[in-house]
């Protein structure tokens, strides 16, 4: 076995066809008729995706384990078994109208990097581990980035497991069902030392494609606060109840949303303000709504600005609620993250050695790397995606770009593990 700085060997051993084949096999798990993927966190499709990845890993001779929140780890041993591993990965869950690459790419690119290290006969001092984090998307169970938040100690395991989906199932129950499918899988402790973390991902935005670049080195992630808003009015007959007697939860919610939009959206279009779920109860055409529930996803790259804007949500909602009651609960908060210089330098050097042009860019989307950054030096690589489209069934990326990202990833991982 060669050892030391033989990263070129790992990059050269990355196989574009193999990477694409695994991505497409994974995309078949939870495939939607429109070409997208619907693979909710801790669903049976998620379990199937995990088994697929675990099977590929075992076929390559790697040890596979899970932890109490269901993060999946694949370990390529290093020469020093006591050294903290270099970690790479992403997530296998998708949005309900999701695509084939968000999350899946980082997992499969990581597996390809490990496979390429084997093919190139490379040994590293540190172990290199691939991880598929549980419930990154937060679409089924809130908050998102659940697996990485528990792993890094930002979220208590019990709090995470108590999360409930729309059908009343807890994350604990869903995870137990997923793990029952792999009864022989080793369970490792919830926390572990990490030397460095690198996550590969599609950009989910238009910058790289517009500039004709195959690679982005991600400098950080903008901050994000999630809120749950509950507006309570009173059910009444739609045909007989005069306006003055109504406590219409929908009309109150409508006024709240209009007020929040006016106050939070900015001319420069930096603030991101999204209401992605809106539920009206009892949901009958001829009953005045008694209750509305909606979510807010608020993002900004500046920490102070995000704090200020987020802190205005509850007072603004209260002032616009009219005769209805309103409660605003913050369900998650992540401050803007700046990635670590040493990792960014390793990734830039890796790109140069691979002859891949790149630019630095920030991430507008959230990633598990945001939590890992609090625990270990962390970086991310972006590859272009068509039209910058993501969280959409039409999400797509070119096999050659995906392979380029995996080459730079492999190169960087070997360097970090030496
Ligand atoms: C992750 O998909 C996010 O919400 O940014
Ligand atoms: Mn993602
Ligand atoms: Mn996503």
| Domain match, 266 and 397 both | no
Asked if residue 2 is part of any domain, the answer here is: no
- Examine the fold and report which residue of 316, 334, 352 is the final residue of a domain before the chain moves on: 334
Residue 391 CA, closest ligand 1 atom number: 2
| Domain match, 341 and 379 both | yes
Query: pLDDT band at residue 368, thresholds of 50, 70 and 90?
Result: very high
Report the pLDDT value the prediction gives residue 6, as an integer from 0 to 100. 47
Please check whether residue 36 is in contact with residue 395, taking contact to mean a CB–CB distance below 8 angstroms. Answer: yes
Report the pLDDT value the prediction gives residue 3, as an integer from 0 to 100. 44
User: To test ligand 1's pocket by mutation, which of 140, 391, 392 has the most ligand atoms within 8 angstroms of CB?
Assistant: 391
| Domain match, 31 and 130 both | yes
Cα–Cα distance, 94 to 89 (Å, whole number): 15
Asked if residue 264 is part of any domain, the answer here is: yes
The model carries a pTM of 0.96
- Examine the fold and report which residue of 284, 315, 334 is the final residue of a domain before the chain moves on: 334
Q: How far is the CA of 71 from the centre of ligand 1 (A)?
A: 18
CB atoms closer than 10 angstroms to residue 104: 30
DSSP reduced 3-state for 344:
helix
- CB environment 299-331: b (16+ within 10 A), e (fewer): bbbeeeebeebbeebbebbeebbeebebebeee
Instruction: State the CATH number of the domain containing residue 232.
Output: 3.30.70.360
How many domains would you assign to the chain? 2
| Domain match, 241 and 177 both | no
Query: pLDDT band at residue 150, thresholds of 50, 70 and 90?
Result: very high
| Domain match, 92 and 161 both | yes
Residue 366 CA, closest ligand 1 atom number: 5
Asked if residue 1 is part of any domain, the answer here is: no
- Cβ of 366 closer than 6 Å to ligand 1, yes or no, is yes
- Examine the fold and report which residue of 282, 313, 334 is the final residue of a domain before the chain moves on: 334
DSSP 256-268: HHHHHHHHH--TT
Asked if residue 4 is part of any domain, the answer here is: no
| Domain match, 81 and 119 both | yes
Q: pLDDT tens digits for 90-135? A: 999 999 999 999 999 999 999 999 999 999 999 999 999 999 999 9
| Domain match, 66 and 210 both | yes
Q: pLDDT tens digits for 321-366? A: 999 999 999 999 999 999 989 999 999 999 999 999 999 999 999 9
Cα-based distances in Å from 317 to 244, 331, 334: 21, 16, 22
Asked if residue 302 is part of any domain, the answer here is: yes
The answer on pLDDT for 85 being more than 70 is yes
- Cβ of 99 closer than 6 Å to ligand 1, yes or no, is no
- Cβ of 137 closer than 6 Å to ligand 1, yes or no, is yes
Domain that holds residue 290: 223-334
Query: pLDDT band at residue 8, thresholds of 50, 70 and 90?
Result: low
Cα–Cα distance, 326 to 321 (Å, whole number): 7
């Amino acid at each position: 076995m060669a050892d030391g700085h033989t990263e070129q060997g790992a990059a050269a051993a990355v196989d574009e066809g193999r990477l694409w084949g695994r991505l497409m096999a994974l995309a078949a798990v939870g495939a939607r008729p429109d070409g997208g993927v619907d693979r909710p966190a801790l669903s049976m499709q998620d379990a199937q995706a995990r088994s697929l990845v675990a099977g590929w890993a075992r076929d390559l001779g790697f040890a596979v384990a899970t932890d109490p929140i269901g993060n999946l780890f694949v370990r390529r041993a290093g020469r020093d078994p006591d050294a903290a591993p270099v970690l790479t990965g992403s997530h296998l869950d998708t949005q309900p109208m999701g695509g084939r690459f968000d999350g899946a790419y980082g997992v499969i690119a990581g597996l390809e990097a490990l496979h390429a290290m084997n093919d190139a006969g490379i040994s590293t001092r540190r172990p290199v581990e691939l991880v598929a984090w549980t419930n990154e998307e937060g679409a089924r169970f809130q908050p998102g980035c659940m697996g990485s938040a528990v792993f890094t100690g930002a979220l208590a395991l019990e709090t995470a497991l108590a999360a409930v989906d729309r059908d009343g199932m807890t994350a604990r129950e869903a995870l137990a069902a997923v793990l029952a499918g792999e009864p022989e899988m080793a369970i490792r402790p919830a926390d572990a030392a990490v030397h460095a973390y690198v996550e590969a991902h599609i950009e989910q935005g238009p910058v790289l494609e517009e500039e004709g670049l195959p690679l982005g080195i991600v400098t950080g992630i903008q901050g994000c606060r999630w809120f749950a808003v509950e507006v309570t009015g009173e059910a009444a007959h739609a045909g007989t109840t005069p306006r003055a007697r109504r406590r219409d939860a929908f009309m109150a919610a409508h006024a709240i949303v209009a007020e929040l939009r006016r106050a939070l959206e900015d001319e420069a279009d930096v603030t991101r303000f999204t209401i992605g779920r809106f539920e009206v109860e009892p949901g009958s055409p001829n009953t005045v709504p008694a209750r509305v529930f909606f979510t807010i996803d608020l993002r900004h790259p500046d920490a102070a600005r995000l704090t200020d804007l987020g802190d205005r949500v509850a007072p603004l909602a209260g002032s616009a609620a009219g005769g209805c009651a309103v409660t605003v609960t913050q369900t998650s908060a992540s401050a803007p993250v700046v990635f670590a210089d040493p990792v960014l330098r390793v990734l830039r050097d890796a790109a140069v050695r691979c002859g891949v042009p790149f630019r630095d860019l920030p991430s507008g989307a959230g990633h598990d790397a945001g939590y890992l950054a609090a625990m270990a030096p962390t970086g991310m690589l972006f590859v272009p995606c068509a039209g910058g489209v993501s969280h959409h069934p039409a999400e797509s990326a070119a096999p050659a770009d995906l392979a380029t990202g995996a080459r730079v990833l492999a190169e960087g991982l070997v360097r970090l593990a030496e």
